[in-house]
Structure 1
Amino acid sequence: MQFKVFSRFLEKIEKTQSRLEITQLLADLFNQASPDEVQQAAHLVLGETAPLYEEKKFGLAERLVLKAMISAFSLEPGYAKRKSSALGDLGIFAQEERSKSQSLFGKEEDRGLSQVFTQLVSITERSGNGSQEEKMKTIALLLSEMDPLSCRYLARILVGTLRLGFSAMTILDAYSWMLTGDKQHRATIEKAYNVHPDIGFIGKLLRSKGIKGLSSAEPEVGVPVLMARAERVETPQDIIEKMGECAVEPKYDGFRLQLHYQKKAGVKLYTRSLEDVSHMYPDIVSAAQSELSCTSAILEGEAVGVNPNTKEYLPFQETVQRKRKYDIAAKALEIPLRLFVFELLELNGKSHLNTPYVERRKHLQSIVHAMRDATIVVTTITQTKSAVELEQLFQEYTSEGLEGIIAKKLDGTYQAGARGWNWIKFKRSYSSKINDTLDCVVMGFDYGKGKRTGFGIGAFLVGVYNQQQDRF
């Protein structure tokens, strides 16, 4: 597939507001592409070259992309800055200037989608001294050889303003349409995506092997699984009515992490949003290497800050200070973390997503060393079928500063990426009206870019009232 053909599909998608039409256009695009091209196109329509957890970002300021355009189209810098600023869209600016230069310097090269994708990946991988200049030269060469429409979408992809109005979920719809012209396979495709959330990988499997190819989408160390979520109820009695006898765990007030361990390859930590945060928590990474007894495993848990002197749990407002990119070592000494693990998704190369909860717990307890002052600790559980005992556990845990309780179905499987009744959480706030609004003062705004250029505003800066300081 030529990149210009890909760009024509993007133009059609940009012009429609119909979700069904967008889905059908994406399906047509994928049906015209090879398996490798489906993988590439699926990422590019989302403005990326790889899934979030691989951390392959362009890292480009608009001024550098504009500099590449100045070079590619032989523009006067002052004119380029004024014109691009007035348009508010580097994509439209690139398209217009390429149209002018095309008539002066001849027609474009026929760049293949795979060829362009490879160049874009190379941009994300460049770092260090001179990398920005090399990125600029690569972009300038691509722009100088493309047709005007391709220049529009290439520029938007590079600066993160593609914004075609859909997410990965629409692409999953389109994959089903690609296969059968309807949504009959949507649930199966999403289930595989929840286990292996790489939109390109799933598309390539489907295009090359059909729906049966998804059987190979199993938990893999180094590929985060979309985390399961719990349902909510208003009273402990509601839990018993839904589950009967269940296992009850304390609900810690920290942040959820998915720990991927491989004896030879090391440790990775991922957030709910699939971000790799291994570098932020060296204490947990180090602990995993000494406190786990297995060849490989995928665990889930809640990281909570601990007072290094009293060993008491810290409130979330203090724990969250560990989420940082700088001064990591110093903050780790100030606020050490304890990871309370409660789930096992993979062990020694075998998936445990469909293993009943009680068996997953046994496997989990068998691989975590119960050491004094350990960083990684398996959560305690209490089996009960009494609403009274549930209430007592809730009172006990909240008096210790925890959030509440979470009940789990004894024979329940792990429902990756889904909210289901295999898990039920209970916090006091659920029994009363929850305040889900904030009064804010608008203090500023950013100019709109991409699709938001016409509206004029991209994002608002708002202030929230601080009662102690009497200020926003």
Structure 2
Amino acid sequence: AEARWVVRTVLGAMRLGVGEGILRDAIAQAFLDGPADADAVERAYAVTNDAAVVAETASREGLQALEALDLRVFRPIKPMLAGKADTMADAFAALADDDGVALVETKYDGIRAKLHADGDGDVRMFTRRLEDVSAQFPDVIEATREAVAADRYILEAEVVGYDPETGEAVPFQELSRRIKRKRGVDAMAEEVPVTVHVFDCLLLGEDSLLAESLRDRLAALGAVFDPIADRIERADHRRTADPDAAASFYETVVAGGHEGVMVKNLDATYQPGSRVGYQLKVKSTMEPLDLVVTRAKWSEGRKSDYLGRPYLACRDPDSGAFLEVGRMHTGFTDAQLEEFTDLVEPLIESVDGREADLRPEVVLEVEYEEIQSSPTYGSGYALRFPRLSEIRTDLGPADADTIGTVERLYGEQ
């Protein structure tokens, strides 16, 4: 009962991504030897992503059983996150190994997915928000089953939608329609076909590979993976000790319509949910911001039934608060406005006139002209002419950009 109480007291904060530290310390204090065992609790949560399992294991079986918890098929975990580098040269210099070699991969604009197989023929696809979307992507399931010569595994990949006529990648917003589709799945798969770009192997057989280097994880992947052109492939990459070759690959990727590259350290272990400096993304232009919606206002005229004009907020990782950085006045298509309203209406906490305060859960990718200093918003900054890039249904509030990112971008202008 005590374990369940601990979990319930922080569950609301956990949903917003600000309660992990509170939960870790509470479990360590209540059931173990306090701060000395906090790291063991944090690791157990990272490999299970299940607060109840961690609390109950600590309370009933103790530290040794907690340390034995590990990755398990069909129990998805959070993805390892990437930092941001200003230039290709900076990223390569920071992440090359002792031999001067780094891995450079195309950064795709798709659905980050974990592909699980249990050894009994069941293959499932989970999103970065840990949702099982296997039913919506039968083509991904079939391609994975055909391409992987192993019975039990967890792979990581980016699922990218393509225009069947032009062969060009479609925006994430177009691909995300498949996540929401419950009927007509096969027709939607023909309308927005996908290619699975595999880039990591986290479990093979009975062995968790989280503690292995990226170099060894990729060797394990290569031993069992047989790509199928246009259906499931290895993420396009270069493993090189030549900074000029890495820069040339980056330029080719950007010229091909992708937003940039990921640069990875080959010695890195896998750190679920962490942004630990083992991989950096390099983009070609001033980056958009992923921001949480805190308030919205009912529109006027023919759109008066829809919520729009959202207030946008970045995340303060120290306090867990969301700090507003502006308000978006335009940028929704009619279809996007309807989708946005469907997403935020269940999150209304209070209403004042035509304005609604929202539980901060919906994330928008936002472009803008510049960042200005402003006393109007709690962040101290305001976006000039913010406009919608995408509704990021694959992201949660814990994935939102931080106040530190806003400050950095402000300083770089």
* TM value normalised by structure 1: 0.59
- TM-aligned CA distance change 1:467 to 1:353, over 3 Å: closer
Q: Distance in 2 between matches of 1:260 and 1:446?
A: 33
1:330 aligns with 2:187: yes
Secondary structure of 2:174's counterpart equals helix
State the Cα deviation string for residues 299-351 of structure 1 (Å, max 9, x = none): 11111012223433223332222221333221111011111010100001111
Question: 5+ residue gaps in structure 1?
Answer: 2-29, 31-37, 53-162
Q: Which residue of 1 aligns with 2:216?
A: 359
Q: Which residue of 2 aligns with 1:200?
A: 52
1:185 aligns with 2:185: no
Secondary structure of 1:395's counterpart equals helix
Q: Which residue of 2 aligns with 1:175?
A: 27
Secondary structure of 1:323's counterpart equals helix
Q: Which residue of 2 aligns with 1:417?
A: 273
Match of 1:216 among 57, 63, 68: 68
Q: Which residue of 2 aligns with 1:388?
A: 244
My pick for the range that moved more, 404-413 or 341-350, is 404-413
Secondary structure of 2:66's counterpart equals helix
Q: Distance in 2 between matches of 1:387 and 1:447?
A: 49
Q: Which residue of 1 aligns with 2:86?
A: 234
Q: Which residue of 1 aligns with 2:404?
A: none
Q: Which residue of 2 aligns with 1:105?
A: none
- Aligned pairs (5 A) from 1:25-424: 30=2, 38=3, 40-45=4-9, 167-180=19-32, 182-244=34-96, 245-326=101-182, 327-373=184-230, 375-424=231-280
- Partners of 1:448 and 1:457 within 8 A in 2: no
- Partners of 1:176 and 1:189 within 8 A in 2: yes
Letter in 2 for 1:347: L
Secondary structure of 1:421's counterpart equals coil
Greater radius of gyration (CA):
1
Question: 5+ residue gaps in structure 2?
Answer: 292-324, 331-336, 367-384, 389-413
Aligned-residue RMSD, C-alpha: 3.7
1:459 aligns with 2:358: yes
- TM-aligned CA distance change 1:386 to 1:415, over 3 Å: same
Higher helix share: 1
- Partners of 2:328 and 2:386 within 8 A in 1: no
Secondary structure of 2:35's counterpart equals coil
> Percent identity over the alignment?
25
Secondary structure of 1:364's counterpart equals helix
Q: Which residue of 1 aligns with 2:380?
A: none
Q: Which residue of 2 aligns with 1:17?
A: none
- What's the offset of the Cα at 1:446? 6.8
- TM-aligned CA distance change 1:333 to 1:230, over 3 Å: same
Higher strand share: 2
Number of residue pairs matched?
315
State the Cα deviation string for residues 171-191 of structure 1 (Å, max 9, x = none): 222001113564332222112
- TM-aligned CA distance change 1:180 to 1:316, over 3 Å: closer
Secondary structure of 2:125's counterpart equals strand
- TM-aligned CA distance change 1:229 to 1:448, over 3 Å: closer
Letter in 1 for 2:163: N
- What's the offset of the Cα at 1:422? 1.5
* TM value normalised by structure 2: 0.67
Q: Distance in 2 between matches of 1:415 and 1:166?
A: 18
Q: Distance in 1 between matches of 2:20 and 2:32?
A: 19
Letter in 1 for 2:23: I
Letter in 2 for 1:369: D
- TM-aligned CA distance change 1:296 to 1:248, over 3 Å: same
- Partners of 1:368 and 1:376 within 8 A in 2: no
- TM-aligned CA distance change 1:236 to 1:201, over 3 Å: same
- What's the offset of the Cα at 1:232? 1.2
- What's the offset of the Cα at 1:238? 1.1
- What's the offset of the Cα at 1:46? 5.7
- TM-aligned CA distance change 1:331 to 1:380, over 3 Å: same
- Partners of 1:261 and 1:297 within 8 A in 2: yes
Letter in 1 for 2:156: E
- TM-aligned CA distance change 1:312 to 1:260, over 3 Å: same
Q: Distance in 1 between matches of 2:270 and 2:246?
A: 22
